[in-house]
Amino acid sequence: MIIIFKFIKDKLTKKSIEREIDIEKAPKHVGIIMDGHGRWAKKRGLPRSAGHRAGAQKLRVITEYAKSLGVKYITAYAFSTENWKRPKAEVDSLMELLLEYLRDRDQLAGKDVIIRVIGDRSALSDEINREIDIVEECTKDREGLVLYLAINYGGRQEIVRAVKDLSKQLKDGEISGEDITEQMISDRLYTPDVPDVDLIIRPSGELRLSNFLLWQSAYSEFWFSDINWPEFTEKDFAGAILDYQNRNRRFGGV
């Protein structure tokens, strides 16, 4: 059965999928766990860094396309709090790539995209922090989609940060423990004004969340695919949006 569905899907064109999409029902917030860069590079006899570069290029293509499908926010997982465990040479090359893309904001996300960074910036170099400030300032008045780049980001670390903030207010007597609500945690996350993530896309065949948007994904829909991120296409993205629209989101109701 799955093979028949896959066959039908493969026969569809990007245009025919787009015709089925109802922009009004598009997910407002899409999370992307960019993955499979190393495997993509290995298949081509290239260094892992080439895979990361191809992944970064793909982010711009998909971000621009997402805008045309009515998506308002994308959060892309660029570097997790756990990625420091990778060999130093790979971490250094990822930081170099981030710096290069932050310096060239249109290469990062296209012309009409607001770029913001979430994550613990204290471990990032002064140079990267400076470029983040510049890119956020230079894109803040743009209209359209907001791209959140998660750098040195971890969902648990984000929740701990919110709890620490609350505990300070508790200690200062500004709030009492009984008053704490879910909303008060949400308000202390990196993106308090952004709707919870509606759809999380993870390519490359991995079926996990990897500490991504833990709080915000309580009722997210998930879309997995075997395709490595560098070869992910606009058609794949359109397919994910259409699948999302055909799901029945009940949020715990009936």
Contact string 63-82 vs ligand FPP (x = CB under 6 A):
---------------x----
CB 140 within 8 A of CB 117: no
3-state class percentages of the chain: helix first, strand second, coil last, to nearest 5: 50, 15, 35
CB 187 within 8 A of CB 169: no
Amino acid identity, position 195: P
Instruction: Name the catalytic one among 35, 152, 198, 228.
Output: 35
Measure the CA–CA gap between 169 and 192, rounded to whole angstroms: 18
Among 31, 55, 155, 239, binds ligand FPP (CB under 6 A): 55
Q: Give the H/E segment covering residue 141.
A: none
Question: Closest separation between CB of residue 145 and ligand FPP, Å?
Answer: 15
Report the residue number, 101 or 244, with the smaller CB distance to ligand FPP: 101
Instruction: Name the catalytic one among 10, 83, 126, 196.
Output: 83
Q: Segment 77-106, which members bind ligand FPP (CB under 6 A)? A: 78, 83, 94, 97-98, 101
Examine residue 203 and tell whether it contacts ligand FPP (CB under 6 A). no
- 187 classed as catalytic: no
Q: Give the H/E segment covering residue 79.
A: strand 73-80
Measure the CA–CA gap between 17 and 94, rounded to whole angstroms: 34
Report the residue number, 56 or 241, with the smaller CB distance to ligand FPP: 56
Measure the CA–CA gap between 219 and 182, rounded to whole angstroms: 14
- 126 classed as catalytic: no
Report the residue number, 17 or 158, with the smaller CB distance to ligand FPP: 158
Measure the CA–CA gap between 38 and 230, rounded to whole angstroms: 10
> By beta-carbon distance, which residue lies closest to ligand FPP?
38
Provide the annotated active-site residues: 35, 83
Contact residues for ligand FPP, defined by CB under 6 A: 34-39, 52, 55-56, 59, 78, 83, 94, 97-98, 101, 108
